[in-house]
Structure 1
Amino acid sequence: MKKSGLFLLFFSFIFQLAVAQNFSAIVKDSLTKEPVYFASITNLNNKKTVISNEKGAFSIVAKPGDILSIASISYSFDTLQINTKVLQQAQYIIYLHPLSKMLDEVTVSAHKNYSAYQLDSLHRRRDFFATTTDYSIPAVSNGNSGVGMGINIDHFFGPDKRKREAIKLFSQMEQEHYINYRFNPTFLKQYVTLPTGSLLLFMETYRPTYKWLRQHPHQEDLIYYINDKLKLFLKK
C-alpha cells in the first residue's frame, strides 16, 4: 500500500507538470520599462496567439516545455520556454529590446525602397544572428509577395543542428511580425469601432494566418476580411 501511495503521488506530480494552465505576464520595453501593448504572444506548440493589452499584460494557456514567441512592431523578438518555476511566478515580466536602427549607410541606401517591415526585418536578422550563430549575416531576398524578406536557408544547413533550429525559429518569428504589420490596431481602427478590450478580443479571435496574408497581399483584401469577420464578431 505504501508503494502504491508513492506511485500515485508521483503520477499525480507528473500529471500536474503535463497539464496546461493559464500563464500571465507583462511585456515591457527593455529601455523605458514602459508596457508594450498589442504585442503578439504565440505558443509555438499549440499555435495559439494572444495580444497584450494597454498595460502590456496577457494570459495564455501553456504547459512546461512549451515555447512562447513574443513579437511586436519595431522590436526584436524574444522567446520564453515555459517551466514550473515560470508558471509559479506571480508577475513575470518579459522585456523586448527596441530595434537598434544601426544598419550602415550602404545597407540603408541599397534598400531605400523597402517598406518599414522589410527594414525592420533586416535589423531583426542582424540582431538575431549576431547572438545565435557564428555565421555572418546572410544575404537577403524578397519574400513570396515581394513584401517580406527571404533568407538563404541553404547557406546554413550544416552539421550543427542548433543553427538549423535557429533558422527555423527565426522564420516562425518573422511570420508573426509580418502578421503584426498587416493586421495592426492602427489599420483596424480605420474600419472597426470597438473599445480597446473588444478590439483585443477581435484581433485574437480573427487573427489571419501568415499563409492567408501572403495569398492576399493587397490592403483591399484585408479590408474585406475585416468587414466579414466583424459581422461574425458582432453577432456573438
Structure 2
Amino acid sequence: MRWFVFFFFVTGAVLNSRNVSAQIEVSGTVFDSSKIYGMQHVLVLTTAGEITRTDSAGQYHINMQPGDSIYFFYAGKNTLKYALSQIPNPNEFDISLHARTNSPYKVLKEVVVFSDTYRFDSLENRKRYEKIFGNTKGKIQTSVSPDGIVGLDVGSIVELFQFKKNRRANSFQNRLILQEEEGYVNYRFNARLISRITGLQGDDLENYRQTYRPTYEFSSKSTLEEFYQYILNTSYAYKRAHGIP
C-alpha cells in the first residue's frame, strides 16, 4: 500500500510538471472598434478553465495548454473561440471588439498627460522632488515679534543670498520638467500606435519617429483628431520620400 501511494504521488508530480512545462503564455491587447483604444475589464478565458481580465490599457496575459482555445467576454457576449494552434504569435495576439470605449485620455493641472499610468509617474515624480518643484525665487519676508514689532525675517535674508544653491535647484527643476515633457511625447508618440495607424515597422518606424517627432507644445495642445492627422500626413510624406507604397 505504501508503494502504491508513493507511486501515485510521484506519477502525479511528474504529470503536473509536464502540464506546467507545456503551458504557453498568450498575451496581447483588446482594442475597441477604432483599433486604437485598449479596452479594460474584458474577460479573457480559455476552454481549459483559465480566466483573467484586461488591464487599463487593454492588455492581458493568460496561460494556455496544447489543444486549448481562447475567447473573450464583454457586455454579455462571447467572441469566437481561437485555437492555440491557430495563433501565429502568442506574444502579440491582439483583437478588436465591435464596441466603443471611452477615451482614456485625461488632463492634469501638473502636466498634460494621456493615461493613468503616465499620470501616476508624473505625480510620483512631483512628490519625490516636492522641495525642488516648490522652490521659488528668494525674497525677503517680514516677521512679527511677540511684542507686535514688525521686522525682517533673518532666515529669508540668508536664503536670498544663497545664489548658487538656488540656481542649482532651479536648474534641476527645469531638467525634471523637461524630462516629464520628453516622457509625455514618448508616451503619446509611441511606436505601437504609429505602427497601427501607418503600417510602418522596423527601421522605417524608428526613422519616422526620429524625423517627425512632435514638440511637447503640439503634443499637449492638439486634439486627438489633430494628432492622428499629423501622424497620417507625416507618414505619407515619409513614405513618398523613401519610396514606400
TM-score of the alignment, normalized to the shorter chain, above 0.5: no
TM-score bracket for the superposition, by shorter chain length: 0.3 to 0.5
TM-score for the superposition, normalised by structure 2: 0.38
Q: Tell which structure's C-alpha radius of gyration is larger.
A: 2
| Larger RCO of the pair (alpha carbons < 8 Å, separation 6+) | 1
TM-score for the superposition, normalised by structure 1: 0.39
